[in-house]
A and B are shown apart, each in its own frame.
Chain A
Amino acid sequence: MGFEKFGRKSFTAMTKTAKFVDFLAEGKINGTVCKKCGTKYFPPRADCAACFSKEMDWFEMPKKGTLETFTTAMYAPFGFEADPPYTMGVVDFGGGLKLFARLAKDIKPEEVRVGMDVTIRTLTYDDGQLSFEITRA
C-alpha cells in the first residue's frame, strides 16, 4: 500500500517505510529496529543514523504508556476543516520511545490529563485512510 493512505490526509506519497501502512491494516503499530546495532525508531526510519546500516526490521510498539502532553485544536489547518475539535498528544512508553497522534474521540477533552495511563490502537477512517490513535489504557 502507498503512503498516501496514511493519516487523515497524507503529504507524502513515497517512502521506504510505506510498509508501515500495511501493518496498520493488520492492526499493528510498528517502529523500525536496526538489525546491526539494535537502535529502535518511532516514527519508523529506513536508515540507521547510529551505525549507517540500511538493514532494518519492524517491531511492534509497546501498548502501555503515559500521556506526556496534549492539546485540543479548536480550529484546523487547510484540508482538516471538518475535524475540530480534536485532541493530539504525545505518549511516553519509557526507554526512549514516544509517539505523537490524535486522541480517540471516545475520550472527552475535559477528561484528558497529563500523566494519565494510555494505550494505542489502529484506526480506519470512513474514506479508507489508515491511522493510529491514543486511547484510555
Chain B
Amino acid sequence: MAKDVAVIGVGQSHFVRGYEGSIRELAFEAFREAMQDAGITQKQVDASIFCSAPEYDKQRSPAGVLAEYLGLIPQPTFYVETVCSSSSTGVKIGYGLIKSGLHDIVVVLGFQKMSEITSAESQERMGRGADIQWEAPFGTMMPAYYALYAQAYMAKNGLTHDDLMNVRVKAATYGQINERAVYRKGVKPEDFDPKNPEAKMAAPVAWPLRVGDCCANADGSSCIILASKKKVKELGIKKPVYILGVGAASEAVNMAARPDFSQGIKVAKIAADVAYKMAGVGPDDIDVAEVHDCFTIAEIMAYEALGFAPVGEGKQLIREKATYKEGKIPVNVDGGLLSKGHPIGATGGSQIRTIVLQLRGEAGPMQVKNPKIGLVHNIGGVGLYGNVTIFGR
C-alpha cells in the first residue's frame, strides 16, 4: 500500500438545527479547526475544493466566495458535488491532485446550511438528486427511496423492525457522547413502541421506515487538509494519517434500472472492492469504520457491501453488538448520520475526521482501542454515487 497522500488536519463545526450565521461563517468554523490542527497558514495551501449540494444555497458558485472568506485567494479553487457524498468525492479529487504532483497541500471543505427551508421543501429538493423527469412526478422523497430497499431486503433476509431500531439505539449511544452531534439524546426501545403514546420514533414516514429510522437534517461544515508525503516530512507532522485506498462508483438514477433491491446498494460494493484492492487490505483488516447511515437500513446494507458480513446476514452484527465500540468491527461510534446529523455536503468530511481522530488515538470518549486501519463509506443520493476510502497510520 502506497503512503503518498496524508490527512494533516481535520475540523468540523457543531452540527446544529438553525445555524446562526452565513455559509461563509459556517465554513470558517471547520476551516479554523483544521488549519490549527495542521499548524499551517493559508500561504502554504496550494488549492481548495468546496463541496455541497447546491440546491440549498442561495449563493451561486460558492467556491470563489468561500475561498476569499477563508483567505485562500489567489490560489485555485473549485466546487465539487455528488449530493450526500460530495466531500468524500472532494477528498478523492484532492488525493489525485497531490498524487499527480500538481499540488502539495489541498484544503477540502464540505458545508451545508439546510435549515433555511422546511423539511417538506428539503425532501423535495433532496428528491431532485434522484430522477426528476420520470420519478419525482409520483411524489418521491429520500425516505421512500430507501424504504424500497428496506422492504425488499426485509422480505428476503429476515431483517426485522427491531433490528432497525437497534441500529438507531446504537447510534444514539454514541450521539450522547459526541458534543458535535445534533441529536444528543439516548434512544430506548420504548421510543419505537407504536402502543406508547409518547413514542417519537414509531410513526411511519415511508413504510417500512419510521421517524426513528431516518437521520436528521442539520447545518454543518467539515474540513480535511491533504498533503504530499514530502510536505508531511517538511512540516514535521507528528501523526499523519495516510489515504491507503480510494474507490468510487456510480449507478443508474431510475429505480427501474436497479438490480435486485434485496441485495443492497451496488455502488458501495464496487467502491469497496476498488478501495480494498488499492489498499491491499480486506474487510478483516478494518479496525474502525464510518458508514453512511442516512437511514437505519443503510447501515445494515453497508455492513454487507463492505464485507463485514455476508449478504443477508448484516443483522447478525447488530444483534451481537459487534459494531459497538468494544465489538469486532466498531461502526459509527460517533453517532453516525442518525445522531450526528446529515448536513449533506459536510457529511463525508465529518466521517473522515472521525476516522482520522480514531487512528491518531484522539477520539476521546468514542475512542476504539488502538485502531490501525479505518474505513469511510459515504453514499450520494439513493446509491447514485458511492465512495469508500481507506485510511492508515
**Are B141 and A73 neighbours in the complex by a CB distance under 8 Å?**
yes
**Are A11 and B203 neighbours in the complex by a CB distance under 8 Å?**
no
Nearest CB in chain B: distance from A17 CB, A: 9
Roughly how many angstroms separate A114 CA and B152 CA in the complex, as a whole number?
7
**Are A12 and B132 neighbours in the complex by a CB distance under 8 Å?**
yes
The chain A residue sitting closest to B146, CB to CB, is A71
Residues of B with C-beta under 8 A to A122: none
Nearest CB in chain A: distance from B203 CB, A: 7
Residues of B with C-beta under 8 A to A109: 207
Q: Does B140 contact A (CB under 8 A)?
A: yes
Q: Does A131 contact B (CB under 8 A)?
A: yes
**Are A69 and B137 neighbours in the complex by a CB distance under 8 Å?**
no
Those of A91-132 within 8 Å (CB) of chain B? 97-102, 109, 114-115, 131
Q: Does A56 contact B (CB under 8 A)?
A: no
Nearest CB in chain A: distance from B252 CB, A: 10
Residues of A with C-beta under 8 A to B250: none
Known interface pairs A89-B148, A131-B137; A71-B127 also in contact (CB < 8 Å):
no
Residues of A with C-beta under 8 A to B120: 75-78, 81
The chain A residue sitting closest to B134, CB to CB, is A43
**Are B208 and A43 neighbours in the complex by a CB distance under 8 Å?**
no
Nearest CB in chain B: distance from A10 CB, A: 5
Known interface pairs A8-B139, A100-B138; A43-B256 also in contact (CB < 8 Å):
yes
Residues of B with C-beta under 8 A to A50: none
The chain A residue sitting closest to B147, CB to CB, is A71
Those of A54-94 within 8 Å (CB) of chain B? 68-81, 83, 86, 88-90
- Binary flags per residue of B219-251, CB closer than 8 Å to A gives 1, else 0: 000000000000000000000000000000000
Residues of B with C-beta under 8 A to A101: 138
The chain A residue sitting closest to B204, CB to CB, is A74
Number of interface residues of A (CB under 8 A): 40
- Binary flags per residue of B112-130, CB closer than 8 Å to A gives 1, else 0: 0000001011011001100
Q: Does A35 contact B (CB under 8 A)?
A: no
**Are A72 and B255 neighbours in the complex by a CB distance under 8 Å?**
no
Specify which of B121, B143, B256 lies most central, judged by the most chain A CB atoms within 10 Å of its CB: B256
Nearest CB in chain B: distance from A29 CB, A: 12
Among candidates B137, B141, B203, B261, residue contacting A9 with C-beta atoms closer than 8 Å? B137
Nearest CB in chain A: distance from B134 CB, A: 4
**Are A69 and B149 neighbours in the complex by a CB distance under 8 Å?**
yes
Roughly how many angstroms separate A6 CA and B120 CA in the complex, as a whole number?
22
B residues apposed to A, CB below 8 Å: 118, 120-121, 123-124, 127-128, 131-141, 143-144, 147-152, 155-156, 203-209, 254-258, 260-262
Of the A-B pairs whose beta carbons lie under 8 Å apart in the complex, a sample of 27, sorted by A's number, is A3-B133, A7-B138, A9-B137, A11-B128, A43-B254, A69-B152, A69-B261, A71-B151, A71-B209, A72-B207, A73-B143, A74-B203, A75-B120, A77-B121, A77-B124, A78-B123, A88-B139, A90-B148, A90-B258, A98-B256, A98-B257, A98-B258, A100-B134, A100-B254, A102-B139, A114-B151, A114-B156
Given pairs A8-B137, A43-B254, A90-B255, 11 additional interface contacts (CB within 8 A): A8-B138, A9-B137, A11-B132, A70-B148, A71-B207, A74-B206, A77-B123, A78-B120, A98-B256, A100-B135, A114-B151
